[in-house]
Amino acid sequence: MAEIVLHHYPRSLYAEKIRRVLAYKGIRWRSVEQPMVSPKPHLTPLTGGYRRVPVMQIGADVYCDSACIVHRLEQLQPEPACLPQADAELVGVIEDWADRRLVSQVMPPTVLALLPVLPPDILVDRAAMSPMLSKEAFAALAPAALRQAPFAFDRLERLLRDRPFLLGDAFSIADAACFHPLWFARSCPGLAAAIDARPALGRWMARIEGFGPGNVRPMACSEALAIARESEPADVAGGTPAAEGVSVGDDVTITADDYGREGTGGNVVRVSGGEITIRRRDPEVGDVAVHFPRAGYRIARQ
């Protein structure tokens, strides 16, 4: 199998979710650092219009969205497991709550606290992705977010008082999904104090941080593009001929349903209950297969 390549940047909270899973599983991976703001000339040849990170690349297969990435990692290396089959649906509910609601609570005050060390045009870039990501929106939302986030912290604190991880004795995707918003929130003094005031929450974060950085080596953007150019999509078999209005062979455009709605167009080569894969061609990398979760994305026929 080709090397696992993660396109990300250090402060990306969703990338931290993937970095924790990679470290826990002990998977060797290569790190390609992408810019925080557009343009992203070394990412969009792989993804089309999609410009969010993290993105995982394996040869000419490109996986968008952290939910899609963690499920592929679980397939590639089932042990140690991050997605216990007996609790798969519960994990999905917790992951969705954390990735959406918990992130929305910690994001405004934390981004405002980080502005002095972020690129000066970061919120101009994010406002182009959604008006709710503008500086004005964050300033309006931050006071309520600072009041609401501790209620979520309390919920996690109660769950963790009698167990090392959210589902019991073993780390899971539920832990990765709840960890990354709190890891990010520690950059906001008010939220950091609220986290530190909850001892079970602090011990849980320390356990996950104890996985370390993982088995990682840097890779240049040019090398990652060369790997895609010299490879053929491999993860395209299986699935079903059709599902809910989309069929293999359809030309479609896929866009996120929340923010960053630049579309990625291509031809459907696989569709399943939870994922859709399209094949697209780019002059820089040739044919690539781009994988998206179906939840959280709009799929429109061209």
pLDDT in tens, the chain (302 residues): 789 999 999 999 999 999 999 999 999 999 999 999 999 999 999 999 999 999 999 999 999 999 999 999 999 999 999 999 899 999 999 999 999 999 999 999 999 999 999 999 999 999 999 999 999 999 999 999 999 999 999 999 999 999 999 999 999 999 999 999 999 999 999 999 999 999 999 999 999 999 999 999 999 999 999 999 999 999 999 988 877 789 999 999 999 999 887 899 999 999 998 999 999 999 999 999 999 999 999 999 98
Cis before 143? omega within 30:
no
Q: How far apart are CA 99 and CA 7, in angstroms?
A: 19
Judge whether 151 and 68 are in contact, CB under 8 Å: no
CA dihedral 138, 143, 145, 150 (to 10 degrees): 150
Q: What sign for the dihedral angle of Cα 160, 165, 167, 168?
A: negative
Residue 242: the pLDDT is 76
Tracing tokens 């320390």 back to the chain, one arrives at 206
Would you call 39 helix, strand, or coil by DSSP? coil
Residue 10: the pLDDT is 97
Closest C-alpha among 274, 273, 278, 301 to residue 291? 278
Q: How far apart are CA 277 and CA 282, in angstroms?
A: 16
Residue 168: C-alpha distances to residues 87, 104, 300 (Å): 11, 26, 41
Buried b / exposed e across 232-252, counting CB within 10 Å, b at 16+?
ebebbeebeeebeebebebeb
pTM of the model: 0.96
Strands (E), 65-177: none
Residue 2: the pLDDT is 87
Residue 1: the pLDDT is 72
What domains appear along the chain, each with residue ranges and CATH number?
4-79+216-301 (3.40.30.110), 85-209 (1.20.1050.10)
**What are the respective helix, strand and coil percentages of the chain, to the nearest 5?**
45, 20, 30
Residue 261: the pLDDT is 74
- How many CB atoms lie under 10 A from the CB of residue 297? 19
Judge whether 6 and 56 are in contact, CB under 8 Å: yes
